[in-house]
Amino acid sequence: MTIRLEKVAKRYRMEWVLRGVTLQFESSKNYAVTGPNGSGKSTLLKILSGHLTPSKGKINFFLNEKSLSNELIYKQLSYTAPYIDLIEEYTLPEALHFHQHFKPFIKNQTPADLIQLLGFEKSKNKPIRHFSSGMKQRLKLALAICSDTPLLLLDEPTTTLDRQGVAWYQNLIQEFAGNRLVIVASNVEEDFFFCEERVSMLAFK
Domains (ranges, CATH) in the chain?
Answer: 2-201 (3.40.50.300)
Q: C-alpha angle with apex 153: 151 to 159, nearest 5 degrees?
A: 155
pLDDT in tens, the chain (205 residues): 999 999 999 998 889 999 999 999 999 999 999 999 989 999 999 999 999 999 999 999 999 889 998 788 999 999 999 999 999 999 999 999 999 999 999 999 999 999 999 999 999 999 999 999 999 999 999 999 999 999 999 999 999 999 999 999 999 999 999 999 999 999 999 999 999 999 999 988 7
Task: Please give the pLDDT value at position 65.
Answer: 87
Task: Please give the pLDDT value at position 25.
Answer: 97
Other CB atoms within 10 A of residue 56 CB: 15
Other CB atoms within 10 A of residue 165 CB: 16
Q: In what order do the strands lie in the sheet with 30-34?
A: 77-80, 151-155, 181-185, 30-34, 197-200
How far is CA 1 from each of CA 10, 24, 29, 57, rounded to the nearest angstrom?
A: 23, 11, 10, 20
Task: Please give the pLDDT value at position 158.
Answer: 97
End-to-end CA distance of the chain: 27
Total-model pTM: 0.95
Task: Please give the pLDDT value at position 71.
Answer: 80
Question: Assign residue 105 a region: left if phi > 0, alpha if psi is -120 to 50, beta otherwise?
Answer: beta
